[in-house]
Amino acid sequence: MSRSVFLGLIGPPYESDQLTTALRIADEAVRQEHRVTVWTCGYSTTLTAAALGPTKPRNAQTWGVRFPSTSALAIDLLEWAGGSLDWLVCRYCAEERGVLEQVPQVRVRPPYEFVQRAVAADVALVLGVK
């Protein structure tokens, strides 16, 4: 039986392992044939900014290795999941942080939809700051 899962990411994604956790939950939920919505607020809206490009900046310790950016990870997950995953960004938070330009696979939505989508989902989990 398919269920809908809402994952809210709030706050700076680099503060903890929330992004890794959310991506793993989203991946597994899609594998179990659930419908998943990832919603980002606060500094998590920067995860899928178009300006990030496909790879992270080089690190002097691993100069010859290229790692995917967070937007590339999100794009890969969205493409793999097909229509079973939506990645949404809070317009207010993105505008406040100067990242309204997102990768094409991500949709920018008005803030009031956060509550509407969370309440409408069968399961809602919000990962954020303390």
State pLDDT tens for residues 42-81: 999 999 999 998 887 777 777 788 888 899 999 999 999 9
CATH number 3.90.170.10 given to 4-127: no
State pLDDT tens for residues 21-37: 889 999 999 999 999 99
Mean pLDDT check: name the lowest of 14-23, 70-79, 106-115: 14-23
Q: What is the mean pLDDT of residues 18-22?
A: 86
How far is it, in rounded angstroms, from Cα 69 to Cα 37?
A: 20
DSSP output for 12-79: -GGGSSHHHHHHHHHHHHHHTT-EEEEEEEGGGGGGGBGGG-SBPPP-GGGTT---B-HHHHHHHHHH
pLDDT at 130 over 60: no
The domain spans of the chain are 4-127
